[in-house]
Amino acid sequence: MSSSDPVKMVTIREVPGKGKGLVAAQKIPKGTRLLSEEPIIRIPEDAPDNPSLRASIRRQVESLTDEQRRSFLDMHNTYPGSMSTNSPSHYLGIIRTNALPMDDTTECGIFLSACRINHACDNNAQKGWNEAIKRHTIHALRDIDKDEEITISYLGVIKNRKARQEDIQRKFGFTCSCRLCSLPPHLSAESDRRLDEILKLDGLIGKAGVLGTIITAPKRVLRHVDQQIQLYNEQGPSDAGLSRAFFDAAQIAAINGDLARARVFAERAASAWLVAEGADNPIVLKAKAFAQDPSTYDIYGFSTAWKTSVDDIPHDLDATEFEDWLWRREKRHEPGQPVDLRNRATFPSFMELPDENDVDEDFFKSNDGVNYKPRRHWCFLAEIVDYGALLRLQMTIKDVSGETLPLFFHTDGRGGEISPSQTHKGYTVAILYAQQHAFAFSEPGIRHEDPPLIKIFPISLDNLLALSDRVQRFSSTKDQIRTCHGCDKRATCLKNCARCSMFWYCDADCQKVGWLDKGHKADCKLLQDGDLKGLFSLNWDEFQDFIKFPLRP
Ligand SMILES: C[S@@+](CC[C@H](N)C(=O)[O-])C[C@H]1O[C@@H](n2cnc3c(N)ncnc32)[C@H](O)[C@@H]1O
């Protein structure tokens, strides 16, 4: 990250097809500050052309040294007006062609070397205004070879090829032929798909809002950032959007009280910004301060749903496990192993459900942009808190995150399909493909229309989840080793319960312990229900066609 002599590091040269450009005079490591310049001329951004602007520009040009003036007048002008190189229109044309924004001010400026840098969509350097030193800086985003051209992006957000080409042509009047714009069609299509997806995720993350889904469904927003970062990394690791994305993740964690992850994300944002902006840039200092003590950040702890301390950062995980922890990724479901009913991707809370009025791409996919079908199956679990029937059966239910909501039965039989013996406080409803519905006369809830999509299990939600924990422990196999439900011994040759075929035992004695002392009598009775067993054995991640009750795994 050193800032050595810029004269030696870069040089201005003719670049075929682009006029002049900046070229590396030596090998330059990633993160090196290539330039740090004060403006020689500054004007208000988007200033209208009027006599006072022209007078200000003339004054500034006249006060340049001879060498500065020569360099300024040698700059490219895409606004040919007056033929005279000494006229204010020519000056203004040069400024409009070359000026770089000074982000924290409302001005833009002419910088003798930075304004010589040509554009590439896969730029190897990053431009930025550093308010602390009042200079414009250029940093190497990756290792740059001697004689390689230094490039920056003239565009704010990187879009697909067609949109980029249109923007560049419209705003700057040239056609970009960088490596990214010259990819063969199939690779270009792949890159476009990633960039479109990144942009779409950007929209979803931006829409989330500090008091919106960041609090009510934080895991979903974090998943969007996780996906975005994976796409950035596939696209090319040096995109400037990466630092922003890590900082977004740090904020999502901090807002929800998760200091451990907030620290890790903020550290990653700081390191990415350090490369692109340099150690003295306020944004790097801000990210470092955030990482140092995320609890001092003003958005910390709006919710305590994810409360952790910075000491909770795990140190004994391998790289993949650490990323899974960091991003709160649901454990991938291993085929042949029982499904975990605590997995919120498959068994979401109400706030995590898709909204009926939106196409939530987390849940649905389309091949033609018109017809959508589920990406996977999902099932909403909630406990009956209350119920009644006026015009139709209605329930108040409590979901996995403790939120209560209404469930209205808009079936042909207005809920009459549900037998009274099932309508019981403390029982758990399971609704396949549930979506959020905005009722005109009540708070948001679920409008249930299709009888085969609902099932009521005679068990409380807490007990169902506890049963799922036991199933995870005593019904799964790792390297052909199982755990005896009676004595916890781990072995390969256990016998399974002949009734439910899900729990395993060393022998009849252990089975007796399991049955009488460890609650298997009740569990086994519940597991006689093929639908409950189905919840544990269905392949939820692969959607072929809609499933319904009774489940046929
Ligand atoms: C800020 S100047 C860059 C320096 C300029 N080449 C010069 O000779 O002074 C911007 C202009 O450079 C040219 N330019 C920049 N990037 C280019 C690229 N990738 N391909 C072709 N021309 C480019 C365009 O004419 C553009 O309007």
Is pLDDT at 363 greater than 50 in this prediction? yes
Question: What Å distances lie between residue 44 and 54, 115, 135, 170, 492, CA to CA?
Answer: 12, 17, 16, 22, 76
Whole-number percent of the chain with pLDDT over 90: 80
pLDDT at position 420, please?
92
Q: 46: CA distance to ligand 1 center in Å?
A: 20
Is pLDDT at 3 greater than 50 in this prediction? no
Q: 199: CA distance to ligand 1 center in Å?
A: 26
Q: Mean pLDDT, to the nearest integer, of 222-248? A: 90
Determine the Cα angle at 57 with ends 52 and 63, to 5°: 130
pLDDT at position 82, please?
58
Q: Is 171 in the pocket of ligand 1 (CB under 6 A)?
A: no
Cβ neighbours of 393 (radius 10 Å): 22
Q: Is 127 in the pocket of ligand 1 (CB under 6 A)?
A: no
Q: Is 174 in the pocket of ligand 1 (CB under 6 A)?
A: yes
| Most confident among 82-91, 208-217, 349-358, 390-399 (mean pLDDT) | 390-399
Q: Per-residue confidence at 289, pLDDT binned at 50, 70, 90?
A: very high
Q: 173: CA distance to ligand 1 center in Å?
A: 9
Q: Is 172 in the pocket of ligand 1 (CB under 6 A)?
A: yes
Q: Is 212 in the pocket of ligand 1 (CB under 6 A)?
A: no
Q: Is 182 in the pocket of ligand 1 (CB under 6 A)?
A: no
Counting atoms of ligand 1 from 1, which one is nearest the CA of 173?
27
pLDDT at position 52, please?
92
Q: Is 286 in the pocket of ligand 1 (CB under 6 A)?
A: no
Cβ neighbours of 551 (radius 10 Å): 19
Q: Is 152 in the pocket of ligand 1 (CB under 6 A)?
A: no
Give 412-437 as a DSSP string.
TTTTTTS-TTT--TT-EEEEET--BB
Task: State ipTM.
Answer: 0.99
Is pLDDT at 449 greater than 90 in this prediction? yes
Q: Mean pLDDT, to the nearest integer, of 12-40? A: 96
Q: 79: CA distance to ligand 1 center in Å?
A: 13
CB within 8 A of 341, min separation 6: which ones? 347, 381, 464, 465, 468, 535, 536
Taking CA atoms only, the protein residue closest to ligand 1 atom 23 is 18
Q: Per-residue confidence at 238, pLDDT binned at 50, 70, 90?
A: low
Is pLDDT at 81 greater than 90 in this prediction? no
Residue 125: closest CA among 135, 134, 136, 112: 136
Q: Is 342 in the pocket of ligand 1 (CB under 6 A)?
A: no
Strand 151-152 relative to strand 118-119, pairing:
parallel
Is pLDDT at 5 greater than 60 in this prediction? no
Q: Is 75 in the pocket of ligand 1 (CB under 6 A)?
A: yes
pLDDT at position 207, please?
86
Q: Mean pLDDT, to the nearest integer, of 266-275? A: 97
Q: Is 116 in the pocket of ligand 1 (CB under 6 A)?
A: yes
pLDDT digits (tens, 9 = 90+) for 119-140: 999 999 999 999 999 999 999 9
Q: Is 78 in the pocket of ligand 1 (CB under 6 A)?
A: yes
Helix axes 241-255, 185-208, angle to 10 degrees: 30
Q: Using the 8-state DSSP alphabet, how is residue 513 labeled? A: I
Q: 19: CA distance to ligand 1 center in Å?
A: 6
Q: 167: CA distance to ligand 1 center in Å?
A: 14
Q: Mean pLDDT, to the nearest integer, of 105-110? A: 89
Is pLDDT at 362 greater than 90 in this prediction? no
Is pLDDT at 184 greater than 60 in this prediction? yes
Question: What Å distances lie between residue 163 and 119, 158, 159, 160, CA to CA?
Answer: 15, 9, 6, 5
Cβ neighbours of 297 (radius 10 Å): 19
Is pLDDT at 553 greater than 90 in this prediction? no
Which of 10, 11, 15, 18 most suits a substitution to test ligand 1, by most atoms within 8 Å of the C-beta? 18
Q: Is 20 in the pocket of ligand 1 (CB under 6 A)?
A: yes
pLDDT at position 1, please?
44
Under a CB-based contact definition with an 8 Å cutoff, are residues 393 and 407 in contact? no
Question: What Å distances lie between residue 388 and 6, 97, 384, 423, 476, CA to CA?
Answer: 77, 70, 11, 9, 40
Amino acid making up residue 270: A
Which of 118, 167, 180 most suits a substitution to test ligand 1, by most atoms within 8 Å of the C-beta? 118
Counting atoms of ligand 1 from 1, which one is nearest the CA of 76?
9
Is pLDDT at 50 greater than 50 in this prediction? yes
Give 197-223 as a DSSP string.
HHHHHHHHHHHHIIIIIHHHSHHHHHH
Q: 16: CA distance to ligand 1 center in Å?
A: 11
pLDDT at position 87, please?
84
Q: Is 281 in the pocket of ligand 1 (CB under 6 A)?
A: no
Q: Mean pLDDT, to the nearest integer, of 356-383? A: 89
pLDDT at position 85, please?
72
Is pLDDT at 2 greater than 50 in this prediction? no
Q: 17: CA distance to ligand 1 center in Å?
A: 9
Is pLDDT at 4 greater than 60 in this prediction? no
Rounded CA gap, 542 and 36, in Å?
A: 53
Q: Compute the mean pLDDT over every residue in the chain, rounded to the nearest whole number.
A: 92
